[in-house]
Amino acid sequence: MPTEPPEPAVAPPTEAGESAPAAPSRRTFIATTTAVGGVVAGGLIAGTDLAGPGEASAAEASPASRVCLTVNGTRRTVTVDNRTSLLDLLREHFGLTGSKKGCNAGACGACTVLVGGHRVNSCLTLAVRLEGAEVTTIEGLADGDQLHPLQKAFIEQDAFQCGYCTPGQILSGVGCIQEGHTGSPEEIREWMSGNICRCGCYVKIVRAVEQTAGRK
């Protein structure tokens, strides 16, 4: 038996002269929500968060301390951020760029300096903890134009190639000699194992340390 097709859904009646609003399409919905979300996210990225200006300035201020230390025989006094490493203090504040920033994680030894005659990785040492300390960098190792014996030995043994690690190698070698760890090539290699030479000049570096220690 034939049936009549169902009547289409009729929009609710509206006032005279008005048409029913069309339902938003998927494209319109996405565009609208993206625009609104972009405005909110943009405001947060720009810094218009809920924190007041006083709270924001307090968060930006970092604690600082005054530290006095002797670097290469010269007394220095400086006020630095408490998070400043000895390496950054030497390079950025004092202009002593001989100490190199390699890994900045204490793994390569390029930043080695002497503090009180002992070897330290300056990238891992907080400057504010060195009140009254005596620091020696590669710039202070020579006596005027007279090179340190280990500096001479590095030149004579050709114990470097690119030279980036050389300041740290030399300071570590000086510390190794002062500590008395030069009884054999194996002992020197062991006690200088924290200093990496990516050019592979280890054999000549050991020879330079041996020569300076008087074993060769």
Integer Cα distance of 77 and 67 in angstroms: 6
Closest listed residue to residue 210, CA positions, set 178, 184, 171:
184
pLDDT digits (tens, 9 = 90+) for 152-182: 999 999 999 999 999 999 999 999 999 999 9
pLDDT digits (tens, 9 = 90+) for 91-149: 999 999 999 999 999 999 999 999 999 999 999 999 999 999 999 999 999 999 999 99
Q: Give pTM, 2 decimals.
A: 0.72
